């Protein structure tokens, strides 16, 4: 075999190995507070979603700042998820009983649960206030006058097509429709704290209703 052929065979091997190594590889973890070691070419550092731990994943050929192809991104996501599960297990073992308060798969402490419940209650209470506020609109009418205890608000049916709006509406769109119409007020921005509080209040008043988006 001549020299040229040998070279092409070698090149093909190198390319194939490169493609094989193009996958994501788990390198290890470190606390978020620690400095990330210098990134070498073809290495990307991902931060695990718990905000405490950085996960080092090497992705061959990945250029920082550039979007990865779907297959590579899926590999990275799977490695992160695996790591997340491992850390969850460690945490649960360190704090036996904490999984009694697990929700969304993450163990919570009693203290955390107390703080969160208080915060949530504050939000709902604020919503109750806004829902009963004669100054939300301009004519003294308030939401509770037609929807006592959030009756007939049906948040569990959203999103759905609403004839008044001639489009698929979210709960907040109907809240605004009622502010503009029966209350003759100015509609709220989607991220207005009053809108967020009212959504919380309405949803909590319809607790345990089966979610039926699109239902009329
Ligand atoms: C004068 C009575 C009246 C007042 C006051 C009123 N609404 Fe309504 N509300 C209605 C009517 C009528 C509808 C339309 C029902 C429909 O389309 O089936 C409605 C619909 C809704 C819906 C959608 C219900 C569904 O079945 O999909 C929500 C949510 C809602 N209102 C929230 C509010 C909020 C929040 C306020 C206060 C800002 C308010 N409403 C004030 C009469 C009122």
Residue at 133 is within a domain: yes
CATH code, domain carrying 146: 1.10.760.10
Angle, alpha carbons 132-136-139 (nearest 5°):
100
pLDDT of amino acid 207: 94
- Do 130 and 194 sit in the same domain of this protein? yes
Asked if the model's pLDDT at residue 88 lies above 90, the reply is no
Indicate which residue's Cα is closest to atom 41 of ligand 1.
Answer: 143
- Do 134 and 194 sit in the same domain of this protein? yes
Report the number of distinct structural domains present in the chain.
2
For residue 144, how far is its CA from the centre of ligand 1 (angstroms)?
Answer: 10
- Do 75 and 126 sit in the same domain of this protein? no
Asked whether 170 lines ligand 1 (CB < 6 A), one says no
Asked if the model's pLDDT at residue 38 lies above 80, the reply is no
pLDDT of amino acid 36: 72
Which atom of ligand 1 is nearest to 198's Cα? 35
- Residue bearing the bigger pLDDT, 2 or 89: 89
Confidence of residue 147 (pLDDT cuts 50, 70, 90): very high
Task: Tell me how far the alpha carbon of residue 91 is from its chain's centroid.
Answer: 22
Task: Tell me how far the alpha carbon of residue 94 is from its chain's centroid.
Answer: 26
pLDDT of amino acid 57: 86
Asked whether 188 lines ligand 1 (CB < 6 A), one says no
pLDDT of amino acid 105: 56
- Do 187 and 131 sit in the same domain of this protein? yes
pLDDT of amino acid 197: 98
Asked if the model's pLDDT at residue 119 lies above 80, the reply is yes
- Do 116 and 47 sit in the same domain of this protein? no
Mark 121-145 as b/e (b = at least 16 C-beta within 10 Å): eebbebbbebbeeeebbeeebbbee
Average pLDDT score over the chain = 84
Asked whether 145 lines ligand 1 (CB < 6 A), one says yes
- Do 74 and 131 sit in the same domain of this protein? no
Asked whether 143 lines ligand 1 (CB < 6 A), one says yes
Asked whether 185 lines ligand 1 (CB < 6 A), one says no
Confidence of residue 87 (pLDDT cuts 50, 70, 90): confident
- Do 182 and 144 sit in the same domain of this protein? yes
Comparing 38-42, 54-58, 108-112, 189-193, which segment has the lowest mean pLDDT? 38-42
Q: Measuring CA to CA, which residue among 123, 38, 53 is closest to residue 88? A: 53
- Do 58 and 131 sit in the same domain of this protein? no
pLDDT of amino acid 100: 44
Residue at 7 is within a domain: no
- Do 114 and 186 sit in the same domain of this protein? yes
- Do 115 and 197 sit in the same domain of this protein? yes
- Do 200 and 114 sit in the same domain of this protein? yes
Q: Mean pLDDT across the stretch 131-136?
A: 98
Confidence of residue 15 (pLDDT cuts 50, 70, 90): very low
Q: Which domain holds residue 53?
A: 43-63+70-84
Residue at 125 is within a domain: yes
Which residues touch 110 (CB under 8 Å, ≥6 apart)? 101
Asked whether 157 lines ligand 1 (CB < 6 A), one says yes
Asked if the model's pLDDT at residue 11 lies above 60, the reply is no
Indicate which residue's Cα is closest to atom 5 of ligand 1.
Answer: 143
pLDDT of amino acid 16: 45
């Amino acid at each position: 075999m001549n020299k040229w052929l040998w070279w092409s065979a070698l090149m093909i091997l190198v390319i194939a190995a490169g493609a094989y190594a193009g996958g994501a590889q788990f390198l290890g973890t470190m606390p978020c507070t620690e400095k990330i070691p210098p990134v070498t070419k073809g290495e990307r550092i991902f931060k695990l979603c718990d905000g405490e731990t950085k996960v080092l994943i090497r992705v061959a050929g990945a250029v920082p700042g550039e979007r990865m192809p779907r297959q590579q991104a899926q590999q990275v996501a799977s490695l992160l998820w695996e790591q997340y599960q491992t850390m969850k297990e460690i945490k649960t073992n360190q704090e036996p009983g904490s999984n009694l308060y697990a929700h969304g798969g993450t163990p919570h402490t009693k203290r955390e649960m107390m703080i969160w419940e208080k915060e949530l209650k504050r939000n709902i209470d604020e919503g109750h206030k806004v829902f009963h506020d004669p100054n939300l609109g301009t004519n003294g009418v308030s939401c509770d006058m037609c929807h006592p205890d959030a009756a007939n608000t049906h948040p569990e049916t959203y999103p759905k097509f609403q004839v008044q709006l001639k489009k698929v509406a979210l709960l907040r769109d109907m809240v605004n429709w009622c502010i503009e119409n029966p209350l003759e007020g100015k509609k709220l921005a989607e991220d207005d704290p009053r809108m967020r509080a009212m959504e919380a209040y309405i949803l909590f008043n319809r607790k345990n209703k089966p979610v039926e988006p699109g239902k009329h």
